[in-house]
Amino acid sequence: MDDSRQSAKLLAELSARFSGLPAEAVDEEVDRALELMIGLLGTDRSSFLELLPEDGAIAITHSRARRGVTPAAIPARVAQFPWYHERLGRGETLRFDRLPDELPIDAAAERAYVVELPLLSHVAVPLSVDGRFACALLTGTATSHRSWSAADIEHLEIVGHILANAIHRRKLESELRQTIDEIRRLQGRLEAENTYLQETNGRPVGFEAIAGRSRALREVLAQAAQVAPTSAGVLLLGETGTGKELLARALHATSKRRDRPLIKVNCAALPSSLVESELFGHEKGAFTGAISAKPGRFELADGGTLFLDEIGEIPPEVQVKLLRVLEDGEFERLGGTRSHKVDVRVIAATNRDLDGAIAAGRFRHDLYYRLSAFPIRLPPLRERKEDIPYLVWDLIHRRQDELGRRIERVPESTLQALAHYAWPGNVRELGNVIERALILSSGPVLSIDAAFSDSTGRAEPSDRFEEVERAHFVRVLERCRWRISGAGNAAEVLGLRPSTLRSRLKKLGVARPTALP
């Protein structure tokens, strides 16, 4: 296997192993990754270190070595290395082909350590965490000299970011455990308020806006409650209509930035030619039609939160600029040369397979690792059907006054019918069904369409799902004159992407009547 294929295989394996890794397993996986790096680069020893705030203080947290080679010592704190610390701390990659000869005269402590270890060739790549270079990935040889290629440096940078994100995430989780009493108090309050059988004044924006009590949802809310008070970025994963935007609003509303704006950008809704301008702004004359300077969404969100919905749709040429602002908070407007500095928390969301997009070259792996420091997966409605009664009442309370209705009862048969439907559009589609039901219900009892009310579950579940789904789709399509795309047409009503709806219609054997224009 050539070097490039071996490298790609290693990176794919590390990405998979560190995805969703529990905190207690991080140390073991970091040690394993260091051993894999030794094998890939053909070195003798590899280590991960933290740059401590004290001048020159360095802590080696993990170190592995080939058999017969002594690994670097891992005390709680290593002796002061001021020369080494200063250069890594300002983001300088250090590479030495022949040690100790290449060390300068003012690196006395480093020279003594290299001779004692011993270390003949060495490379160290600094890693940025929360806007500062706080750690580094190292490798080197103890038995022979060697030189370092650009590919070697790139491998270390990519693996280093994976390890740094995992260790940083574990640190965040450790800090967040200290607030567990407050989290439990918050969860208890949310459960008490989230009864869904009482009317509300205005639409809530925090976690109380998220209806349900299923185990799957409670796990999501527990993760969200842990990360909300921090400044860490969050990646929300889940199908269309699962409530990613609602959770993003709740994260912002319960964060320390709640008094500052939450700015939303739907990356899929913007033409690729306008994404950079929308995110970073533009200067006058930057392109045809730019008659004046305009700030971008990052500037509008300064001090607050930026929600990047459908992040998987962002063009590759903009991903580099996005990565920079995530790492150091700096960017230039389109057509400008002056750097702007912002303090923005980014919450991203996608229903796409980003791993597949990375493999296809459509999404940068380093941007993915930066965005996914704290991923949260939102379950589809079919995995939390016990929440449907709560969601139904929540939707009723939100919409009935506006529609001039007063619902007092939802029949059990109606709830069973709703529970037996597959819900490809998830909560968004349920909302559209309940809104239609409110319009159809003239009395105090919620009345839904016959296709749902007849679904009692007596048929085979898979057959019933498709039967109900087919009838529901046809009814919506007829109401929309079989127009799938565009505002107010079938895909929007169902809460689906047009391409998803077309695919589902094909599977269900639903075709547009030939008599229609």
Q: Tell me which H or E stretch contains 220.
A: helix 215-227
Is there a domain that residue 154 lies in? yes
In which domain, by residue range, is 184 found? 179-377
Q: Do 375 and 235 meet the contact criterion of CB atoms below 8 Å apart?
A: yes
pLDDT at 517 over 70: no
Summarize the confidence of residues 493-508 as an average pLDDT: 79
Q: Which residues contact 22 (CB under 8 A, 6 or more apart)?
A: none
Give the H/E segment covering residue 462.
helix 461-479
CB–CB of 462/470 below 8 Å? no
Given this model, what pLDDT does residue 462 score? 43
Q: Flag whether 516 is in a domain.
A: no
Stated length of the chain: 517
Question: Residue 349 sits in a domain of what CATH number?
Answer: 3.40.50.300
Tell whether 354 and 496 lie within a shared domain: no
**Is 311 in the same domain as 422?**
no
Question: Do 357 and 411 belong together in one domain?
Answer: no
Does 234 lie in the same domain as 202?
Answer: yes
Residue 241 lies in a domain: yes
| Closest of 437, 435, 431 to residue 451, by C-alpha | 437
Mean pLDDT taken over the chain: 82
Q: Report how many domains make up the chain.
A: 3
φ/ψ (deg, to 5) at 438: -60, -40
Q: Tell me which of 377, 412, 436 is where a domain ends.
A: 377
Residues 209 and 306 in one domain: yes
Instruction: Establish if 219 belongs to a structural domain.
Output: yes
Residues of the chain above pLDDT 70, percent? 87
Task: Tell whether 213 and 280 lie within a shared domain.
Answer: yes
pLDDT above 60: residue 447:
yes
Whole-number pLDDT of residue 99:
93
Query: For 204-211, which contacts have Cβ atoms below 8 Å and span 24 or more sequence positions?
Result: 205/249, 205/250, 205/253, 206/250, 206/253, 206/254, 207/250, 207/254, 209/246, 209/249, 209/250, 210/243, 210/246, 210/247, 210/250, 211/387, 211/390, 211/391, 211/393, 211/394
Does residue 62 contact residue 34 with C-beta atoms inside 8 Å? yes
pLDDT in tens, 188-212: 334 433 422 233 334 455 777 788 8
Q: Are 69 and 143 in contact (CB under 8 A)?
A: yes
Query: Among all chains, which residue has been given the structure tokens 């080696």?
Result: 60
| Contact present, 416 and 397 (Cβ < 8 Å) | no
Q: Is residue 124 part of a domain?
A: yes
d(CA 382, CA 497): 18
The amino acid at 196 = Y
* Shared domain check, 339 and 264: yes
**C-alpha atoms less than 13 angstroms from C-alpha of 98 in its C-beta half-sphere:** 2
Residue 460: pLDDT band (50, 70, 90) is very low
> Same structural domain for residues 93 and 206?
no
In sequence order, the β-bridge partners of residue 137 are: 48, 125
Q: For residues 365 and 386, state if they share a domain.
A: no
From 159, 176, 193, give the residue that closes a domain. Answer: 176
pLDDT top residue among 379 and 496: 379
Task: Say if residues 235 and 372 touch (Cβ distance below 8 Å).
Answer: yes
Helix (H, G, I), strand (E, B), or coil: what is residue 516? coil
In a domain, 396, yes or no: yes
pLDDT in tens, 50-109: 988 777 788 888 999 998 888 887 654 456 788 999 999 999 999 999 999 999 999 998
pLDDT band at 453 (very low <50, low <70, confident <90, very high): low
pLDDT bracket for residue 383 (50, 70, 90): very high
Angle at 494 between CA 492 and CA 495, to 5 degrees: 60
Is pLDDT of 303 > 80? yes
139 and 285 within one domain: no
Helix (H, G, I), strand (E, B) or coil at 259: coil
Residues 148 and 44 in one domain: yes
Enumerate residues 6+ apart whose C-beta is below 8 A from 145: 97, 98, 120, 121
In Å, what is the CA distance from 467 to each residue of 211, 376, 423, 456, 507?
A: 28, 33, 12, 12, 12
* Residues 391, 427 contacting (CB under 8 angstroms): yes
Residues sharing a CB contact under 8 Å with residue 192, sequence separation 6 or more, in sequence order: none
385 contact partners, CB below 8 Å, separation of at least 6: 419
Integer angstrom CA distances of residue 210 from 71, 98, 170, 371: 50, 60, 27, 24
Q: If pLDDT is split at 50, 70 and 90, which confidence band does 121 have? A: very high
Residue 182 and residue 229: Cα distance in Å, rounded?
Answer: 11
Q: Classify residue 249: in a domain, yes or no.
A: yes
Highest mean pLDDT among 162-176, 249-263, 454-468: 249-263
> Is the pLDDT at 408 greater than 80, yes or no?
yes
Query: How many CB atoms neighbour CB 424 within 10 A?
Result: 23
Highest mean pLDDT among 82-96, 189-203, 420-434, 480-494: 82-96
Domain-terminating residue out of 334, 352, 377: 377
**pLDDT for 500:** 79
Is the pLDDT score of 331 beyond 50? yes
Residue 515 lies in a domain: no
- How far apart CA 109 and CA 98 sit, in angstroms, is 17
Same domain for 254 and 397:
no
